[in-house]
Amino acid sequence: MSNDAGLAVNIVQLAEHARQRAWERGAPVLWSEARRVDGFCDPFRAYAGLDGVGRRVLWVDPQEDLAFVGVGVAMEAGFEGWTRFADASAWWRDEAMWSVGSRGGPRDLQLPMAASGFRFDPERSSGAEWQGFPDGAVVVPSRLVITRDRESWAVGTLLVHADDELDGLSGRMEDLLAQTAAMADVSNEAPTDVPSLISREETPDMSTWKREVVSAADRIRRHEVDKVVLARREERTFAGPLPLGTLLQRMQQANQQAAVFAIEVGEQTFIGASPETLVALRNGALQTVPLAGSAPRGATSGEDERLARALLRSRKDLHEHEVVVGAMLQALDLVAEASPDPDTPIVVQHRTVQHLATPIRGTVRENVTALDVVGRLHPTPAVGGYPTEDALDVIRKVEPFDRGWYAGPVGWVDAGGDGKFVIGIRSGLVRGSTAYLYAGCGIVGDSDPDAEYRETQMKIDAIGSSMEAR
């Protein structure tokens, strides 16, 4: 028997297994198959090549040496309100338990896999630009190319019903795998140029935002709240549609340690290059790396070092960081046993900014998924403030726009409940020729409005630089 014939027999057997699972469940089940593909898939070129084909997702994470690009929807679910994380975790545990997954995929990943994103604050009314985005979403792409360790796999996922015809089902999977493998062989032309910038408008304007910082600092000095994170939005309009593949590739080149992501919802795409891991979970081992306290990068290595030393001595930044770490350890207590690394905080550096960081590691309790941990940690004091409810109340009253998924969790989860989520910062929402860019900073009692404005502009420019015509 040829190898191809053996694969065909195996597909038929797995199709029958999936049908049996659907019959036992009394409802459709997910069936995923994976095959190695020759060569290395460039996720950015593959993403660009899928423009207009269907709903796309992208994830490129150099720290985990993991990238994937997906298109189409095998299954998805949306979740609303403050229970969105618990509801998403319960839904995914059930779907994963009944699913049929290939064992031939990348190491440490259990198929099927899903991309996921969540709104920062479900109580905030949705802005016009965020229409269509639910409070939380879990999406299983029908076609997914996963790259790890410089090797790529084509993953096809079908929704199987108990009464599906067997030959048709196995044939659909064969076709799906062939179409998915073709995604990895994209060799389209060089990245498209970015159209010229026509206009930019910030919300709120600079003077208003500085007044808001002063007001928030006054509240903190009156002990109404310990810390609050205020954000700004910059709307940029361009001469033509923005080429997302080009933007994402530029973002990765400029932020080589960040996780680059893209999730399409309707005609809009939420993109970003986040430096901040909210949770990474693998085989029960948890890691989170809160960042709080920021300084610019220096023009020379000597200036860089001086700014880093000043950051480690800054009373304002150290206090802000201490609040974040303490709140995250307290939040993790119900789902994990965790502790901070010794000799922290440390300084981590990105292209335009450096942060105080404290890695926290631990072990999750039984049946805890990455989505459960996300639900315990969000919103961290680094993006909301502390105490949480008091800080959110200030944000709702002060910020004149909807954050949407900005500063919310974005990431992925596999069938075993493992996954990784980052905080959706250094991010923007793109629709056609318009981009909304977001940035915030932590306000404490001695915050300087001018310095905080410069910090937010520095963060906006970190993503905005990918949109410059060259």
Distance CA 228, CA 213 (A): 9
Q: Is 155 in a helix, a strand, or coil?
A: strand
Q: Is 334 in a helix, a strand, or coil?
A: coil
Distance CA 384, CA 119 (A): 13
Question: CA of 82: how far to CAs of 31, 96, 241, 324, in Å?
Answer: 30, 23, 35, 21
Q: Residue 371 corresponds to which amino acid? A: L
Structural domain boundaries in the chain = 3-183, 197-467
Tokens at 212, concatenated: 């808001």
β-pair partners for 329: none
pLDDT in tens, the chain (470 residues): 334 444 555 899 999 999 999 999 999 999 999 999 987 788 999 999 888 888 999 999 998 899 999 999 999 999 999 999 999 999 999 999 999 998 778 888 999 999 999 999 999 888 899 999 999 999 999 999 999 888 899 999 999 999 999 989 999 999 999 999 998 876 554 567 899 999 999 999 999 999 999 999 999 999 999 889 999 999 999 999 999 999 999 999 988 889 999 999 999 999 999 988 999 999 999 999 888 777 888 888 889 889 888 999 888 888 878 888 888 899 899 899 999 998 889 888 876 678 888 999 999 999 999 999 999 999 988 899 888 999 999 999 999 999 999 999 999 999 999 999 999 999 999 999 999 999 999 888 888 999 999 989 988 988 899 998 87
Q: Residue 369 corresponds to which amino acid? A: T
How many CA atoms within 13 Å lie on the side-chain side of 41? 31
Percent helix, strand, coil in the chain (nearest 5)?
A: 35, 30, 35
Active-site residue list: 227, 276
For the entire predicted model, the pTM comes to 0.91
Q: What interhelical angle do 206-221 and 388-398 show, nearest 10?
A: 150
Helix ranges, 275-407 (H): 301-313, 315-332, 370-377, 388-398
CATH class of domain segment(s) 197-467: alpha beta
Question: CA of 263: how far to CAs of 57, 82, 140, 143, in Å?
Answer: 5, 21, 12, 15
Question: CA of 310: how far to CAs of 78, 159, 422, in Å?
Answer: 44, 55, 27
**Cα end-to-end distance, the chain, whole Å:** 56
What was the pLDDT predicted at 62?
A: 93
Question: CA of 266: how far to CAs of 132, 260, 270, in Å?
Answer: 7, 20, 11
β-pair partners for 396: none
Residue 358 burial (C-beta neighbours within 10 Å; 0-12, 13-18, 19+): buried
Which letter does DSSP use for residue 154 in this model? E
